[in-house]
Structure 1
Amino acid sequence: MKDNIKRLAIVIAATLVAVGGFTLLSHGDDDHHDAHAGHSQAEDEHHDEEQDFKNIPLTAKQIATIDLKTDSVQHRELDATIRVNGSIVLRPQSMGNVASLMGGVVKNILVKNGQHVTKGQVVATIENTDVVTLQREYYAAYKECEMAQIEKQRQETLAQQGAGVQKNRQQAERNYQVAHATMIGIGRQLQQMGISTHAVGRGQFTTTFPLRAPISGTVCQLNAPLGSYADMQTPLMTIRNNDQVECDLNVFEKDLQKVNKGDRVLLALTNQPGIEVSGQVYGINDYFNDGTKSVAVHVKLDGNAKARLIDGMFVTGRIATGRQRCKALPSKAIVNTEGKTYIFALDKKGKNGDCVFSRHEVTTGVTDSGYTEVELCKHIQDGQQIVTENVFYLASLIGEHGEHNH
């Protein structure tokens, strides 16, 4: 604890010394400020990346205390990316309505909004006495099929013994086939309603039938209270499987040719800072979105996403369109202030270790694996050392802390 307090005191003292030195240097260098004021109007008229702060001094002790580190600009291969916006979407295949195939009164609702259900789970029951008529028809068809099968087998036995008549055997075969088809047809209707044909075949009839979940997912939009009438057109509830959400990104016409199926995608959720989700492009529309010059690019999300994704969430994304070799710096070496990006360069280093730095505006490009593409201004010489660690300290000396790239 004492070491930490001592270190903090040294940093504070060093900062005060640097600010004082910087102030004296700024006031003492009148020629520099006069010259700067003299051509400021020309700079406003033709603004390029510039060296806008010179002579920022740090002593060797300050540099050691804050562990300031420098490195030269590197040439690296980075993923070229396109920045896009979009939203999380749930396809129709991942949504299901629970509706009755026959009208009736809602007798039971066995689930609640927000509850997770599995495919085939009974979620409600419907009561309708008319369903007994269908069961009675099945029962009659079942018994008729039994009798037709017995007669068919009897005729086959007689034919094997040479005592049967071919015409009678053929008639018995046809009667069985018709009876069996009738039983199967009625049985399919009962099965669609969730009624057991085995129970009906034993004479066990019911006036209620269950409604089952068509997919696994979360229950939402319960529409019918107990005792209400459920018809075939109005779903009782909707089930949504948010584990199957995807993403649609809007790519503008100028970037469309750069995007291909299989491109990797990294998404950031606007309502969940710090959480990123990855995915892959699997489809590209061949028509423009309504009212825009953008085309929807469909993204399949990786299954290991830990974020809670819901249909309609807005996202910002980057589509990786290939590798490119470029000048790059560690992203933490770049400071964002008022919509501009800056780096700090080492101008002079004295024999005693004291250094002088300057701030330079740069243009940034793609970011990949902690490095960002930079387009340096004319004031940066090849091989010149750039501050790559604890750059916020230099930013604080000129009163602009800014934000670091990540």
Structure 2
Amino acid sequence: MKLKSMSKKKKIVLIVIILIIAFAVFRIVSGKMDDTGVTASDVINIKVATAELTTLESTSPLTGRLEPVEEVSLIPKIAGEVTKVYVSLGDKVSNGTVLFELDKTQVATTYNQAKVSYDDARVALERMTTLYNEGAISLQQYEQAKTQFSIAKEVYTAASDGINNYVVTSPIDGYVTSINVSEGTIASQAVAAVTIANIDKLEIETSVSENMINKVNLGDKVNVLVSSVSDTPLSGTITALSPAPATGSLTYPMKVTLDSVSKDVKPGMFAEVIITSEKTENVLAIPSNAVLIKSGKTVVATIDKENKVVMKEVVVGVDNGDLAEIKSGIAAGETIVVEGQYYLEETSKINIIE
């Protein structure tokens, strides 16, 4: 029993010796780390920037959908059977392009008869005019020929208009965006047969609040962001602005037309019109996230010439979400912390990274 007890004591002594040696080794290694400048675990990595004078803008986004400036829905003036469709969905057409035709068998007979009568009356009037000028016929006979020609012309014009209703053409340049007729079907006067849209120009219909109406004007240039296409804003122009709110609304209708349209920007896409509500030039501004609230005070973490953290209380002006105006507390040229600032105290050890 005694031998076993002594063995336990030796084990305890051995463990104590090992712990002492391990602690000594730790101190030696730690000292070497400090001597060689290796960053310790309590050092905070930060990124910095320089406080600068700049132009600060406060913007208000207005939302809407891109729509064609010109779009027409063609409804036949008469109902009838479709005999021919000349276009397909997505086709580009010009003003006057024939889109489809209706069965004009019956009206064609009337038109042909009216045209024959018109041609005969025209030839007869020309002959009677010559005879009248030569004194070969009376004024009464000449006036009768003129009357017959006028009647024939009216009938022919009516017949021409009637037969033209059976041939439907595009009234604008654009693209076919819908077709609701096909050969052999009946074209109805209740439903648009073809829709044509000119997508060379797109616009956004939106509205502005009473706080913004006096900050925008007809003809102003604005940025338009179509985020589904690009993060780079497009240029637009305010082309319509109502001086009064829409009925039943407290906002003022407004239209913005894109100055140019790329092939990637299409009707129906969601867009944001960026309106500048405030613009202040030559102000000291820093990234908004560099401004902190500590112990109820608004502060900014700065780095002095000795590479130490100094918390400075500031007064903030306009903040557009990206940049915040600093009215007092720091000066242009000071180094501010823009990343890692949330973990800093004035006693913190720092490591500035690029």
Q: TM-score, normalised by structure 1?
A: 0.61
1:73 aligns with 2:52: yes
1:85 aligns with 2:41: no
User: What corresponds to 1:45 in structure 2?
Assistant: none
The answer to which structure has the higher strand fraction is 2
If you compute each CA radius of gyration, which structure gives the higher value, 1 or 2?
2
The aligned runs of 1:4-403 (5 Å cut-off) are 17=39, 20-22=42-44, 70=50, 72-74=51-53, 76=54, 80-90=57-67, 94-126=70-102, 128=103, 131-194=104-167, 211-289=168-246, 292-304=249-261, 307-311=264-268, 313-320=269-276, 324-329=280-285, 333-335=287-289, 346-350=302-306, 354=307, 356=309, 362=316, 364-365=318-319, 374-376=324-326, 378=328, 380-383=329-332, 385-387=334-336, 391-392=338-339, 394=340
Q: How far 1:94 sits from its partner (Å)?
A: 1.7
| Preserved CA contact (<8 Å) 1:110 1:122 | yes
Q: Percent identity?
A: 19
CA distance in 1, matches of 2:86, 2:242: 41
Q: Report the 3-state secondary structure (helix = DSSP H, G, I; strand = E; otherwise coil) of the residue aligned with 2:211.
A: helix
CA distance in 2, matches of 1:101, 1:288: 36
Write out per-residue CA displacement over residues 54-84 of structure 1, whole angstroms, 9 at most, x where no aligned residue.
xx8x8xxxxxxx8x663x432x555x55403
CA distance in 2, matches of 1:189, 1:137: 10
Q: Report the 3-state secondary structure (helix = DSSP H, G, I; strand = E; otherwise coil) of the residue aligned with 2:238.
A: strand
Q: Which moved more, 1:94-103 or 1:104-113?
A: 104-113
| Preserved CA contact (<8 Å) 1:19 1:397 | no
Q: How far 1:366 sits from its partner (Å)?
A: 5.4
| Preserved CA contact (<8 Å) 2:312 2:330 | no
| Aligned Cα root-mean-square deviation (Å) | 3.9
Write out per-residue CA displacement over residues 215-265 of structure 1, whole angstroms, 9 at most, x where no aligned residue.
333333433454322122222232233333211233212222222222221
CA distance in 2, matches of 1:221, 1:154: 52
Write out per-residue CA displacement over residues 290-313 of structure 1, whole angstroms, 9 at most, x where no aligned residue.
7653222221221255651323x4
Residues 1:15 and 1:119: Cα distance change in structure 2 (over 3 Å) = farther
Q: How far 1:166 sits from its partner (Å)?
A: 2.0
Write out per-residue CA displacement over residues 120-142 of structure 1, whole angstroms, 9 at most, x where no aligned residue.
3333333x3xx233222222222
CA distance in 2, matches of 1:240, 1:107: 24
Q: How far 1:385 sits from its partner (Å)?
A: 1.0
Q: TM-score, normalised by structure 2?
A: 0.69
User: What corresponds to 1:35 in structure 2?
Assistant: none
Q: How far 1:327 sits from its partner (Å)?
A: 1.0
The answer to which structure has the higher helix fraction is 1
Q: Report the 3-state secondary structure (helix = DSSP H, G, I; strand = E; otherwise coil) of the residue aligned with 2:107.
A: helix
User: What corresponds to 1:10 in structure 2?
Assistant: none
| Preserved CA contact (<8 Å) 1:360 1:377 | no
Q: How far 1:144 sits from its partner (Å)?
A: 2.0
* Alignment coverage as a number of residue pairs: 304
- Whichever residue aligns with residue 163 of structure 1, its letter is A
Gapped runs of 5+ residues in structure 2?
1-35, 293-297, 345-354
Residues 1:382 and 1:396: Cα distance change in structure 2 (over 3 Å) = closer
User: What corresponds to 2:20 in structure 1?
Assistant: none
- Whichever residue aligns with residue 376 of structure 1, its letter is I
Gapped runs of 5+ residues in structure 1?
1-13, 23-55, 59-65, 195-210, 399-406
User: What corresponds to 1:62 in structure 2?
Assistant: none
User: What corresponds to 1:39 in structure 2?
Assistant: none
